[in-house]
Structure 1
């Protein structure tokens, strides 16, 4: 039993990261840790028992034995540039990438997954291949939404 509640710690990390961005316009490097936490919680994934190259989580249930690489991206309204997904490490042993898109408060909006085969084929078409990177829009087109926040009534 741990002395800390991870969900409470993550809520505080979200608040701190959002406040820091509002105050400075800069981002704290927390989005990937928050994304991993959210993906594992929302998709019922588990941390691997032993470190596996390029693998952040292992599937359970009908996804048992699938290996997941998890990426996170915060979508800030003021950003005018095309958002990019972090570099995909094809030397790792993952099967699926889950992209966790978050709002300015670091709350999950959408989880999108795409297979290794789909992403590899898409990146092969990009000339030159920008070290395994692609835009969020391209990833959205290639993947499928596996979780989405409920729309709040206005």
Structure 2
């Protein structure tokens, strides 16, 4: 399958996911795959199917764990990133933030050392759970969508 075909499929997947949420009020559960696709395309990462706790490698060979979160305007809660695989082999975490149409708005990146330091002794932290707001504070924004 060509890159063009994959990009077209992802575009359609975004449209369907957004329409599904508008219709049912529920998420379709596709944000992780969209995040992985966008992070690889926008940051020039190479997707990996090796497993072992990382999703891609950067040009320097660093192992990247990719997380994605769609932020919906009507959301009143503090969104969290997906559970981090703390015991696995990875070097950095990339967080892809998307709007209600599942379009990427910003990408943040933090090295493992910074992420581990930010996780305190709480129960959630031991499970590798962190809020989007906390991750944004410790990470560097590495990509942002141009203003329209």
TM-score by length of 1: 0.91
Gaps of 5+ in 2: none
* CA distance in structure 2 between the aligned counterparts of 1:86 and 1:10, rounded to whole angstroms: 21
> 1:35 maps to what in 2?
35
Secondary structure of the 1:68 match is strand
Secondary structure of the 2:46 match is coil
Count of residues paired in the alignment: 147
Post-superposition offset of 1:89: 0.2
* CA distance in structure 1 between the aligned counterparts of 2:77 and 2:63, rounded to whole angstroms: 31
Q: 1:59 to 1:86 in 2, by over 3 A?
A: same
Post-superposition offset of 1:3: 10
Q: How does 1:123-142 map to 2 (within 5 A)?
A: 123=119, 125-128=120-123, 129=125, 131-142=127-138
User: Is residue 101–residue 110 contact of structure 1 (8 Å, CA) maintained in 2?
Assistant: yes
Gaps of 5+ in 1: none
* CA distance in structure 2 between the aligned counterparts of 1:69 and 1:130, rounded to whole angstroms: 17
Q: How does 1:75-114 map to 2 (within 5 A)?
A: 75-114=71-110
> 1:59 maps to what in 2?
58
Please state if 1:7 is matched with 2:19.
Answer: no
* CA distance in structure 1 between the aligned counterparts of 2:101 and 2:35, rounded to whole angstroms: 13
The RMSD of aligned alpha carbons is 1.5
**Cα-to-partner distance string for 1:110-140 (whole Å, 9 max, x where unaligned):** 00001111111111x2423351001000000
User: Is residue 52–residue 93 contact of structure 1 (8 Å, CA) maintained in 2?
Assistant: no
**Cα-to-partner distance string for 1:27-72 (whole Å, 9 max, x where unaligned):** 0110000000000000000023x51301100111xxx110100000
Q: 1:118 aligns with which of 114, 117, 124?
A: 114
